[in-house]
Chains A and B, each alone.
Chain A
Amino acid sequence: MILQAVLNGILFGGVYVCIGIGFSLVWGVMNIINLAHGSFIMLGAYITYTLFTYLKIDPFLTLPVSMIVLYFIGYASQKYLLNYIIRASIFITLTFTFGLQILIANVALLIWTANFKSVAPAYSGEGIVLGGLVFPYIRCAIFIVALILTYLFYLLMTRTKTGKAINATALNLEGAKTVGVDVAEIYARTMGISAALGGAAGALISPIMTITPFIGGPLVGKAFVVAILGGLGGTMGAFAGGMALGLAEQVGSFFFSSVYQEAIGFIVLVIVLIFRPQGIIGKRFY
């Protein structure tokens, strides 16, 4: 039924928004494609796994922990590493974040092993049926939390001093320095926020995905698509991009076979890049 496909598209879209929003932030502000974002998400998922399995904490309640831990990881990576190479060419930053990604994946491999892990709270698999459509509990909860996070992020970027400083730096680096913004510190905080959002995404996807140290790669692939589809222009951009990807995949696989899901995603990506590279919302800055 196509309505179910559309509903699934919206619910999946919530997950994609989470995955993409941090990635899009770093790209828009610092022009860094952070291939390590996938491993931030992976770490968030593992933190949730550990808390859920050993302390029996509900995955949704582990969100703050994942976010705080990942904030510090992101902040430190930027402040002590990325800030030193940030003006180099795109090969360099890309390769660097790639190196960081496989390093983090190896660390995760040593700590948690490569065995598939999963987080299965008591209510997984259940849902309610309204008007002939299935609303799985977990997916709906993820969607709602994604909305809340997006809104909080929007408030952060528009109402707080840090948020305004981040916007200023993204708009005009020299200008921001001139008015006294500590750019290095702001970049560090931006990466921290991005990683925290990644950690939240990890916590949110842990109940619906098998967790291995290697999920970082495909996840960052999805994040790319979200960032480009939506455009790097603001919270709305990531939101639009996530929803667009979710809908394109679900509705697309309704019409074509679902094995071509990823190919569809990528073809849509290439088309968007050619005809509207600034994405659906599309502004150059946050």
Chain B
Amino acid sequence: MIKLQDKTYKIFLVIALLACALFPSIASGFWIRLLTSIFLYAILAQGLNIIAGFTGYAAFGNMIFFGLGAYTVGILMVKVGTSFFPSMIAAGVVGIIVAILIGMPLLRLKGHYFALASLGAAEAVRQIMDNLTDLCGGAMGLTLPQMAGKPAQVNQSFYYLTFFLLLIFFAATYTISKNRLGYALKAIKANEEAADAMGINTTRYKIVAWAISGIFTAIAGGIYAYWFTFIEPATVFDVMIVVKLFVILLLGGAGTVMGPLYGAFLFEGISEIIWSRFLNLHMGILGIIVILIVFFIPNGLIDMVRRGFRLKTILDTIREEKV
């Protein structure tokens, strides 16, 4: 079992940390941007992980936070003239508020129904944003001011910003996984009625989980808005984002702390390779990869490393899940 206490693992993490910190000084713009986007995906996946992986509520509508976070930053910077950092904080606050607002009715639903209701809510918000042309450009999108500075500096700034937030959010997730909140969430995932019977206030903890998920996702949305400088409802409320996040969670291991990061690295890495070589087929290949992952490593890489790469383990997993 790989535990955080393991000496080798700790050393590995420290080296990886240093490598990431020094990365921009040795790599070109393309790689810096690639890593920045991997970090963003990791943050998003970690956000989803808290509500879906830890608590067991498959929030298919999580991009509602991404989109609203992006638009908060967009509207504040363009219409009100606020600078980036306060806007980003505002995005986080919006994430919390929205999570509470939609969490209260929706978190009563279970399983598939919750997944769909959250998707429905996100789609409804997308359509509404599509039509708020005066406030934020509607379907034509919103253009944000660019960060001042040369491209290389801008790349580095976003790299370090995302890296820094990644560290904070992952540290927070680690803390959660070890404290009462984490135990409550895992209990809810294992058996919600039992958790309730044991005295865990499931409603409160679920809303807290979704609020945390909302903060991570909304802030990531805010960063995305400032980074890309152009947002429109069709892209920032796109359900494909969340589907990719689910694949990342599957790859890395839902319910683990580091899973989202490994999953993001692997997924983006594969995506980049496929995109650059097989433009015509990249969807089909992604589809095949998803199918293969679901078949052979349904519990994620971390679990697979734990259990060993033997063929027998794979076949056992399949046999467990067959009809």
Query: Which chain A residues have a beta carbon within 8 Å of chain B's beta carbons?
Result: 27, 31, 33, 81, 83-88, 90-92, 94-96, 98-107, 109-110, 183-184, 187, 217, 221, 224-225, 228, 259-260, 262-263, 266-267, 269-270, 273-274, 277
Contacts and interface: CB of A to CB of B under 8 A. Distances in A.
A260 B287 contact: no
Given A84-B318, A269-B116, A274-B108, A260 B289 contact: no
Given A84-B295, A99-B286, A110 B280 contact: yes
B199 interface: no
Nearest to A85: B321
Given A84-B295, A274-B108, A263 B281 contact: no
Contacts of B115: 33, 90, 94
For chain B, the bracket of interface size reads 35 or more
A187 B323 CA distance: 9
B121 A266 contact: yes
Contacts of B108: 274
B112 A90 contact: yes
Contact of A98 (B243, B281, B320): B243
Interface in B192-246: 239, 243, 246
B280 to A, nearest CB: 7
A96 B291 contact: yes
A95 B318 contact: no
Given A228-B116, A270-B120, A87 B290 contact: no
B288 interface: yes
Interface stretch (B2-10, B124-132, B140-148): B124-132
A28 to B, nearest CB: 11
Given A103-B284, A260-B131, 7 more contacts: A81-B291, A92-B294, A217-B239, A259-B130, A263-B124, A273-B109, A274-B105
Interface string B275-303: 00000111110111111011100100000
A94 B121 contact: no
Contact of B116 (A187, A224, A260): A224
Interface stretch (B38-46, B80-88, B91-99, B247-255): B247-255
Given A94-B115, A262-B123, A269-B120, A86 B323 contact: yes
Nearest to A227: B116
B113 interface: yes
Nearest to B322: A84
A84 B108 CA distance: 31
A94 B254 CA distance: 15
A31 B112 CA distance: 9
Main secondary structure of the interface of B (DSSP, over half): helix
A84 B320 CA distance: 9
Contacts of A101: 287
B295 A85 contact: yes
Contacts of A81: 291
B123 A263 contact: yes
B111 interface: yes
Nearest to A269: B120
B320 A87 contact: yes
6 contacts: A33-B115, A85-B294, A100-B291, A106-B287, A260-B131, A270-B121
Contacts of B280: 109-110
A91 B131 contact: no
B323 A92 contact: no
Contacts of B294: 85, 88, 92, 95-96, 99
B117 interface: yes
Contacts of A95: 243, 246-247, 250, 290, 293-294
Contact of B120 (A33, A105, A266): A266
A92 B287 contact: no
Contact of B113 (A221, A260, A273): A273
Interface in B60-109: 105-106, 108-109
B175 to A, nearest CB: 25
A88 B287 CA distance: 19
A91 B286 contact: no
B35 interface: no
B187 interface: no
B58 interface: yes
B56 to A, nearest CB: 9
Contacts of A184: 323
A80 to B, nearest CB: 11
A263 B127 CA distance: 6
B251 to A, nearest CB: 10
B166 interface: no
B188 interface: no
Nearest to B318: A84
B298 A85 contact: yes
B307 to A, nearest CB: 16
Contact of B249 (A88, A91, A183): A91
Interface in B127-157: 127-128, 130-131
Contacts of A96: 290-291, 294
A88 B52 CA distance: 15
- Most B C-beta atoms less than 10 A away, residue of A27, A83, A90, A270: A270
Contacts of A94: 58, 115, 246
Contacts of B123: 221, 262-263, 266
